[in-house]
Structure 1
Amino acid sequence: MNNKETGKVIVIVAPSGAGKTTIARKLLADYPEIKFSTSATTRPAREGEKDGREYYFLSEEEFNRKVEKGDFLEWESYSGNKYGTLQSEVDKLVESGYFPLLDIEVKGALNVQRIYDSNLVSIFIKPPSLEVLEERLTNRGSETDETLSKRLKRAEMEMQHADDFDYSVVNDDLETAYAEVKEIIESFITD
């Protein structure tokens, strides 16, 4: 299906460690008509990351200028850096006939939901519990005690908003959760 006429947008939201990125990657692999909307950030590129692929890497000044000009659908500060979704990036994908996939934070997702209204489907990916989430984050081996504590506090706040989205999917088993997300997406893109 071509998305040029409908301009439909897909938003996936989840606390860090709930499986959002894994599910998003599986969608991108299974549906060529869905394309990831590349966000902008002020954080430095990590090894192997390329500007325009993982993120648009902007200086603090460039990012602030874009905020002032209203170029972002949503943006926020997180862990000392800024992240945002460029309206031009989403529009470019829609104009090319794709369904943009946004992997964003709760606050931004709520704003994007208001903008796109019925031309958007939003899915909140929930961990089975905060204890399971803590275990997943700990098993990553990339969290300090301080960052783990911050992520868990943020996850508690984010999970309070799960009902603000069109769908809520519990990721207890990845394949089961993905099958549920796929069913939602197929209904949305063929509607």
Structure 2
Amino acid sequence: MPFEISSQVVGQTDMSRSIFDIWKEIFQNRKMKRAKRSDNCCSGMSNGFDFLYPLISNRGDYDLILDGIHENIFQLHYHDPIMQKTVKCLNTLGISDLVHQYVMRTQHMSLNVYQPLTAISLHRLIAQVQKPIIEWPKSFMRYRTTFMEKRDILRSWHNKIAPYISRHLSIKSFVEDTVSPLLHILSPPTLRPAIYSHFFYLFL
């Protein structure tokens, strides 16, 4: 019986598998072991999907799962001489971030049913045979905390602008048209442009 994404229930959490177990299954290639039970390559890929999708969706906590992927993905040893796999990984993570932002903005939580597909796509691209060394996500969570703090500061600053001005000035245009030139004026000559460019892009 084929696996149906639409039949999955969003919101249920299965804590029987630790989050490290989930990351291990995403980063480690165990397809060779499962393929022995399959008659052909296509059924092997299907079994991989049927194994990973319920494992990830039943665990839930997609934010933490993706944080762990961000933290550890570039510590893996995978063959990618022309960076093709890496580019695909970054594109996949970017699409996942856009979906997450849309879900948070619209509260269409049913769309979370597609989030495990991100991890499955990455698994097929860069999963390694040897056991991965997995670290708890720190840098991405620290970045997210910093991002939230800076965004709140910017919104507070924007709210203090007179209404007859702020109604015609979105936060994005405020950063691009006002904050960016201001940083160029205030920044010392010895400060590299990449540093303060990254600073104001945090607000977008």
Normalising by structure 1, what TM-score? 0.30
Q: Which structure's relative contact order is higher, taking Cα pairs within 8 Å and 6+ residues apart? A: 1
Q: Which structure has the greater CA radius of gyration?
A: 2
Normalising by structure 2, what TM-score? 0.28
Which has a greater percent of strand? Answer: 1
